[in-house]
Amino acid sequence: MTETRATREEQVLERIDRARRRKARVREEHITMAHGAGGKATQTLIEAVFLDAFRNPLLEPLEDGAVFGAGGARLAFTTDSYVVSPLFFPGGDIGDLAVNGTVNDLAVCGARPLYLSAAFVLEEGFPVDDLRRISASMARAAAAAEVSIVTGDTKVVQRGKADGCYVTTAGVGLLERDAPGVAHARPGDAVLVSGPVGEHGVTIMLARGELDIEADLVSDTAPLNGLVAALLAAEGEAVRCLRDATRGGVATILNEIARASGVAVVVEEDAVPVRPAVRGACELLGIDPLYVACEGRMVVVVDGEAAESALAALRGHPLGEGAAIVGRVRDDPPGLVLLKTGFGGTRIIDVLVGDPLPRIC
Amino acid sequence: MRFVDEYRDADKARALSAKIASLCEPGRAYKFMEVCGGHTHTIYKHGLEDYLPETITLVHGPGCPVCVIPMGRVDDAIHIAEQPDVIMTSFGDMMRVPGGRGSFFDATAGGADIRMVYSPLDALKIARREPDRRVVFMAIGFETTAPSTAVTVLRAAAEGVRNFSVFCNHVTIIPAIKAILDSPDLRLDGFIGPGHVSTIIGCRPYEFIARGYGKPLVVAGFEPLDILQSVYLLMLQLAEGRSEVENQYARVVPWAGNVKALRAVNEVMELRPYFEWRGLGFISHSALRMREAYAAYDAERLFDIPGDRVADPKACQCGEVLKGVLKPWECKVFGTACTPETPIGTCMVSSEGACAAYYNFGRFSRQRVREATR
């Protein structure tokens, strides 16, 4: 009986897999918060609305940035909007977040970030002093990442029509080697993260003050171009994929890699670096640190043979001191991320549906 | 992390797993129901089934607070949220639960002011901060959450806060378990009893299960070793021919429960003659409503709610899943029409819902997962 039951289960699972491969369709009539959370709903929206409208070969891979040739040079180009609340939080503010985010998107394309634009949407009544603070922090972040902010735009909307200040940055970078994409992972590769995960997301949740939890935590926001350069200099062709883990956390990136490369990623829960304060807060809130946003961490897939030397290269850089090998790439089951739990069991790590909602009991 | 890692020790798990296996009678299959959705979540999150022999099946029970909320009640809550000056508040799990006219998230996108809170006291805080608005708390959950709702109402009354009310949907666990025991389609060998509910009601209310129905019940904690040990205790009872209520979660659950909390609930709320459960239908004396004395805090009295009963979608088999008759993947629409992003049934919404837990954490043949992670 177990035999037929198992077979039946397998059939159902295959049917589901087929359903999941179907063309994305937005069923909602209105945008909900889930569409912005970086999980499945965001993916569906992008594929069904934007990709449908803008379709072209550069956009189609849906990478963090587009890579193209122009006048003999190979360039990477990306953009990102920032709507974080609160605007100022331990370890950073919307300003350095906006610079680092775009720098990181370029860096993980394998590009050297050069120039950034900055556009501001300001709410009537927003304190000029706050804007000065944000701009100063952007200037510092740009200097640290060795990029210049060379163009910009300012708009003001009526009170109540925006939440203080939104920032949009775009950036171009010079591609110095072939971009490592999410589709290049192969069985036998090793999976690394560049440092403890989830610090930015938990810092923001706590900074909102709705939880009455206090912890000694700061955002991990940082420019990753130096770390990427160090890694690529040391490992070169052995680096298969690079992705900075932002919204949706490390779990979301691993799913993108597994899907795009047609491989399985097996992660050891105990190997994933998580600071105790992050683990404690996540435990209390019933969320998984693997899904929590980072702003200065990346996922790296390298040739299995190069795992230890890549780890050493990451750890040799100040932003990679906490790097760790967290898993490996297998051929089966393709497209899936599996976790060996600390308890010794196994489960899958799926793409998140929407915001990680806290459980109630 | 202290007080957590001790309960997730793989060596201890292996030892317990061996002891459980040694108690299995050859040729006999065992079915235990974990009543509480929190247990379902733990089982999938930690991959606990990897430690159980093939002959032991864990059946997921009805103890997921949002899973049992009927669609009509969601519509009623949205109707309240759409009234002028209303701020509706509820736990995060509620936001995606589909009603006949969509979920809270859809209502928010349509202009209603619905906010996620972590405790009813947070809702009361909003009421104090915004005295010109009418703040309603959509109260859901079993005996676990009912005391905090009751205490919040008592505090609102003591402070004279007049713009706060509760839309009460609290349910009680015992009638649901009884409904399952009386249901002809299910044969169970024992129960893993709900830990959090028992911190309030204690262990005594389960005695009829052991005595009257001859099924052992072990009240269990929420860490994976707690559950594994409870399975072991159930197996031991069966092997020794006993049928008792045991308390594995004694570090938190007092045998007599929490008298103070029960008193607060009893002060503010009373049993409803009957209440509709999603998938299970009407169950008598299975839910709580606000007492007349607290009418000023009762959203059901303050607002003119439609109270329409909305039939569950035909394809949805949440009822069978909640009763443990069907495994999540055996439902006709599981994973195809009904997914966490577009749930048809409530079991697909909360991370404690059996279908969502299976879809998110377990949706793969255990055999292949084991091979892949070897």
Query: Per the domain annotation, does A353 fall within a domain?
Result: no
Given a cut of 90, whether residue B65 has pLDDT beyond it is: no
- Nearest CB partner across the interface for A341, out of B46, B96, B363: B46
Which chain A residues contact residue B362 at CB under 8 A?
347-348
In a domain, residue B62? The reply is no
Q: How many CA atoms lie within 13 A of B9 on its CB side?
A: 9
Which residue among B14, B65, B371 sits closest to A360, beta carbon to beta carbon?
B65
Residues A214 and A332 in one domain: yes
A357 in a structural domain:
no
Q: pTM to 2 decimals?
A: 0.88
Give the pLDDT confidence of B350-367 residue by residue, as tens digits. 777 888 888 888 777 667
Averaged pLDDT score across all residues of chain B:
92
Q: What is the pLDDT of residue A355?
A: 60
| Terminal CA-CA length for chain A | 36
| CATH code of the domain in which B106 resides | 3.40.50.11740
* B358: in domain: no
**A150 and A27 share one domain:** no
- Examine residue B263 and state whether it is found in any structural domain, yes or no: yes
The tally of domains found in chain A comes to 3
Q: At what angle do helices B224-239 and B37-45 cross, to 10 degrees?
A: 110
Stretch among A272-281, B237-246, B313-322 having the lowest mean pLDDT: B313-322
What is the 8-class DSSP label of residue A51? I
| Single residue among A175, A203, A232 that ends a domain in this structure | A175
Q: Which domain holds residue B273?
A: 71-173+257-302
Asked if A215 and A321 sit in the same domain, the reply is yes
- Find the range with the poorest average confidence among A20-34, A334-348, B7-21, B297-311: A20-34
Distance in angstroms (rounded) separating the CA atoms of residues A192 and A182: 14
CB B152 within 8 A of CB B124: yes
Which of A144, A175, A206 finishes a domain?
Answer: A175
The token pair that represents A122 in the structure block: 């300001």
C-alpha–C-alpha distance, residues B219 and B216, integer Å: 10
d(CA B288, CA B141): 10
For chain B, what is the domain count? 1
pLDDT at A351: 82
Same domain, A132 and A166: yes
The domain that contains A100 carries what CATH number? 3.30.1330.10
| Residue B10 at interface with chain A, using a CB cutoff of 8 Å | yes
Amino acid type, A101: G
Amino acid at A88: F
The answer to whether residue B228 sits within a structural domain is no
Q: Which strands make up the sheet holding B86-90, listed edge to edge?
A: B114-116, B86-90, B134-141, B164-170
Would the CB atoms of A345 and B48 count as touching at under 8 Å? Answer: yes
Long-range contacts, stretch B15-20, CB < 8 angstroms, 24+ apart: B16/B51, B16/B225, B16/B228, B16/B229, B16/B232, B17/B51, B17/B52, B17/B228, B19/B232, B20/B51, B20/B52, B20/B53, B20/B56, B20/B228, B20/B231, B20/B232, B20/B235
Report pLDDT for A236: 87
In a domain, A90, yes or no: yes
Q: Encoding tokens for residue A161?
A: 């029509």
Q: What is the mean pLDDT of residues B258-265?
A: 96
pLDDT for A1:
46
| Per-residue pLDDT at A357 | 55
Contact criterion met (CB < 8 Å) for B92 and A360:
yes
Indicate the residue of B1, B351, B368 with minimum beta-carbon distance to A283. Answer: B1
Amino acid A143 reads: A
Examine the domain organization and report whether A219 and A321 are in the same domain. Answer: yes
A interface mutation test: which of B3, B24, B329, B350 has the most A CBs within 10 A?
B329
The backbone torsions φ and ψ at residue B242, rounded to the nearest 5 degrees and listed phi first, read -100, 160
Q: What angle do CA A220, A245, B104 make, to 5 degrees?
A: 100
Quick check: A128 contacting B, CB < 8 Å? no
| A347 vs B: CB within 8 A | yes
Q: How far is CA B257 from the centre of its chain?
A: 18
User: Are residues A115 and A202 located together in one domain of the fold?
Assistant: no
Candidates B369, B370, B371: best to mutate against A (most CBs of A within 10 A) is B369
pLDDT at residue A361 in the model:
47
Q: CA of A41, closest CA in chain B: separation in Å?
A: 7
Query: A72 and A46 in one domain?
Result: no
Return the residue in B118, B225, B226, B228 with the most chain A beta carbons within 10 A, the one to mutate for interface testing: B118
pLDDT digits (tens, 9 = 90+) for B95-141: 888 899 889 989 998 999 999 998 999 999 999 999 999 999 999 99
A46 and A165 within one domain:
no
pLDDT of the residue at B366:
67
Decide if A358 is inside a domain.
Answer: no
The beta strand positions in chain B, using DSSP E, are: 30-36, 56-63, 86-90, 114-116, 134-141, 164-170, 190-193, 217-219, 245-247, 269-271, 274-277, 281-284, 288-290
DSSP string, B313-331: PTT--HHHHHTTSS-GGGS
- The reply to whether A221 and A320 lie within a common domain is yes
3-state secondary structure of A11: helix
Please indicate, yes or no, whether residues A208 and A321 belong to a single structural domain of this protein. yes
* CA A65/CA A102 separation, integer angstroms: 9
Q: pLDDT in tens for each of the 361 residues of chain A?
A: 455 667 777 777 787 777 777 777 777 788 888 788 777 788 889 999 999 999 999 998 888 899 999 988 999 999 999 999 999 999 999 999 999 999 999 999 999 999 999 999 999 999 999 999 999 999 999 999 999 999 999 999 999 999 999 999 999 999 987 778 889 999 999 999 999 999 999 999 888 877 777 888 999 999 999 999 999 999 988 999 999 999 889 999 999 999 999 999 999 999 999 999 999 999 888 889 999 999 999 999 999 999 999 999 999 999 999 999 999 999 988 899 999 999 999 998 988 766 655 555 4
In a domain, A215, yes or no: yes
Q: In CATH, what number is assigned to the domain containing residue A308? A: 3.90.650.10
Q: Report which secondary-structure segment, H or E, holds A250.
A: helix A249-261
Which single residue is written with the structure tokens 């770390």?
A: A227
In chain A, the DSSP E strands lie at 66-70, 73-82, 88-89, 92-93, 111-123, 148-157, 165-175, 190-193, 239-244, 264-268, 298-302, 324-330, 337-340, 346-348
Q: Evaluate the omega torsion of the peptide bond into residue A86 and state whether it is cis, within 30 degrees of 0.
A: yes
Contacts with B, A 149-208, CB within 8 Å = none
| Residue B284 within a domain | yes
Question: Of A56, A75, A98, which closes a domain?
Answer: A56
pLDDT band at B346 (very low <50, low <70, confident <90, very high): confident
Instruction: Find the angle CA(A68)-CA(A73)-CA(A76) to the nearest 5 degrees.
Output: 40
**How many residues are recorded in chain A?**
361
Position B218 in a domain: no
- A127 and A275 in a single domain? The answer is no
Domain shared by A194 and A309, yes or no: yes
Domain span holding position A158: 63-175
Distance CA A354, CA A352 (A): 6
Residue B249 to residues A201, B96, B192, Cα–Cα distance (Å)? 33, 31, 11
Helix, coil or strand: residue A88 = strand
